[in-house]
Structure 1
Amino acid sequence: MMKKVSGKFVTAVCMLVLAGCSATPTKPGDAAPGIVYNKPETTVQKAAVDALVANGFVVSKSDAEYVEGARPHKVGLVVGSGGESAGVWLSSLGSDKTAVKVSTAKSLAGIAGQKNWDKEIIAEMDKSIGSHQ
């Protein structure tokens, strides 16, 4: 009985440690390039959510001007992959234009097996709502 309880405890602690190791994406500065869609902000926000999900992210926040998600950690042979977080910032430029900036953050746990997902997220948004400027 004690062995079963301690095994569950170790599993719970490991899950908390891995969850705590995820990085928070930071908004790219004003000088960083962004893209513009000729679509209203609500349409682009939905496309951002769909793009994160299509790329294996679990969406944790979805507001009118910000969408965030994280990829679950996976254990590999040498280095685990996953654990990346991505943020999509939206700015309305009028009723039919929305500026977008995407940023991927890598966590300390498994950083060697992680990648930048910015291009894949934008490509998936393009598939959903058409190409950007």
Structure 2
Amino acid sequence: MKANQITKSDDCYDASVLLEKDLNTSKTIAKKVLTGVNATVSSETDTVIKAQRNRNIGLVVGSGGEELFVNLKSVSAANTFITVTTKTGFVGGAGQKAWSCQIAAELIKMANN
């Protein structure tokens, strides 16, 4: 796998990317990206971040609420392999979407700045 190239499922519920950043820097970037997509971190360990998108009331009733899982694996001192998974629920599912590809793309952008 080459650095900064997204591997994704057809529906974008799963995506992965190899960042040319150490584990701690990658985790910091991931948390910023999650905040940027209007998600709140609900739990985290050294290698896993679980977040949930904030629910929105408005045009699409029930939009938001998707669960986002970011898994980080240090593959070297300067590289971290990251997988992103979006899980949607049945309640309000019509307004929910897969965020994994967008999050992976934002990880690359922030890592390169």
TM-score by length of 2: 0.79
Displacement of 1:107 in angstroms is 1.4
Deviation of residue 50 (structure 1)?
A: 0.5
Structure number with greater Rg is 1
Distance (Å, rounded) in 2 between the aligned partners of 1:99 and 1:90: 6
For 2:95 and 2:38, locate their aligned partners in 1 and report how far apart those are by CA, in whole Å.
15
8 A contact 2:20–2:111 mirrored in 1: no
Match 1:102 to one of 84, 96, 111: 84
Distance 1:74 1:33, change over 3 A: closer
What's the secondary structure of 1:34's corresponding residue? Answer: strand
Deviations along 1:52-80, one digit per CA (max 9) or x if unpaired, are 00000011123221111101222345632
Which protein has the bigger helix share? Answer: 1
- Residue pair 1:83, 1:109 contacting (<8 A) in 2 also: no
Aligned length: 101
Q: What do you get for the CA RMSD once the two structures are aligned? A: 2.1
Identical-pair percentage? 32
1:12-54 deviation per Cα after TM superposition (whole angstroms, max 9, x unaligned): xxxxxxxxxxxxxxxxxxxx76321111000101111000000
| Bigger strand share | 2
Alignment of structure 1 residues 34-49 onto 2, 5 Å: 34-49=16-31
> Which of 48, 51, 55 is the equivalent residue of 1:66?
48
Please state if 1:79 is matched with 2:61. Answer: yes
The equivalent residue for 2:104 is: 122
Alignment partner of 1:57 is 2:44 = no
2:100, 2:15 → 1: CA distance?
Answer: 12
Instruction: Specify every segment of 5 or more residues in structure 2 that has no aligned partner in the other structure, as ranges.
Output: 1-13
Task: Specify every segment of 5 or more residues in structure 1 that has no aligned partner in the other structure, as ranges.
Answer: 1-31
Aligned to 2:38, the other structure's residue is in SS state coil
User: Any conservation in 2 of the 1:38–1:98 contact (CA below 8 Å)?
Assistant: yes
